[in-house]
Amino acid sequence: MRGTDWLWLWALSLLWGGSFLFVELALAGLPPLTVVWGRVGLAALILWGVVRLRRTGGPPREVWPALLVMGLLNNAVPFTLFALAQGQISGALASVLNATTPIFTVLVAHLATVDERLGPARALGVGLGFSGVVVMLADGGMAGTRLALLAGLGAALSYGLASVWGRRFRAAGLSPLTTAVGQVTASSLLLLPAWLLVDRPWALGWPGTGPVLAVLGLATLSTAVAYLIFFKVLASAGATAISLVTFLIPISAMGLGWLVLGETLEPQQIAGLGLVLLGLGVIDGRLMAEIVR
């Protein structure tokens, strides 16, 4: 992988790692569903603007039912669960839970596909990854946050389901940008009734400049711009290289949380993260080869 690809990869990890910081800042003045709907709604507007500028056209009508499922699994459910979880846990810890996504993806792919079965190496990696989760959930240091931790793991499972579901868009010949704009549009439509019913946005007071700017950053930088960088690295370096971002996001999120909010992880959480990352490396040996290259 070229040096410029590594720079873009680190930029992507900062943007996606920064999403946990933005959510935490936004929750200081806004309810979770408002934060999530603001993220996907504004990102949809931005990405539709990019589609118009590139004149690529939107998703064809026949794929919208599948895009609704993708929007549910890849945006609406995980974004909401992480926003709810971050009412009780730090963004740094939420990013650690997010790092379990590839582990869930491997399990879902084993159950739902015929060409991505769980071999010995992947089984060992899954075992290591879930041992890291057990360490984080074990008594001592996690009291009072188990529900939030389970919400974070539920979000990671939803991402795993979305990864397998998203295979159909590649087979249908849809570009990543078309899929992205379709899924954020679909998730905006799916979340709209719940947002209006639960948060009653017309009754909300002014949350303050900070939370508003955090939602703008979340939608613009951590969603719309992040997707565009993702497509760039995917085209330049390939899917294996882009998957390295899974290792980098917790580092970026922890660094930003420490720098801006003074957050730190407990030793138990750091140990759990280490086991999760080791499991990811074992699941796909190509990633480790890329790291040491």
Per-residue confidence (pLDDT) for residue 93, from 0 to 100: 84
Read off the pLDDT of residues 26-63 as tens digits, 9 standing for 90 and up: 999 999 999 999 999 999 999 999 999 988 888 999 99
With pLDDT > 70 as the criterion, what percentage of the chain qualifies? 87
The pLDDT of residue 141 is 47
Burial 176-188 (b: 16+ CB within 10 A, else e): bbbbbbbbbbbbb
Residue pair 250/43 in contact by the 8 Å Cβ criterion: no
| pLDDT digit string, tens, across residues 57-102 | 889 999 999 999 999 999 999 999 999 999 888 888 888 888 888 7
For the ranges 16-30, 161-175, 271-285, which has the lowest average pLDDT? 271-285
For 208-230, what is the mean pLDDT? 93
Is the pLDDT score of 10 beyond 50?
yes
| Distances 136 to 171, 250, 291 between C-alpha atoms, Å | 38, 15, 26
Residue 143 pLDDT > 80: no
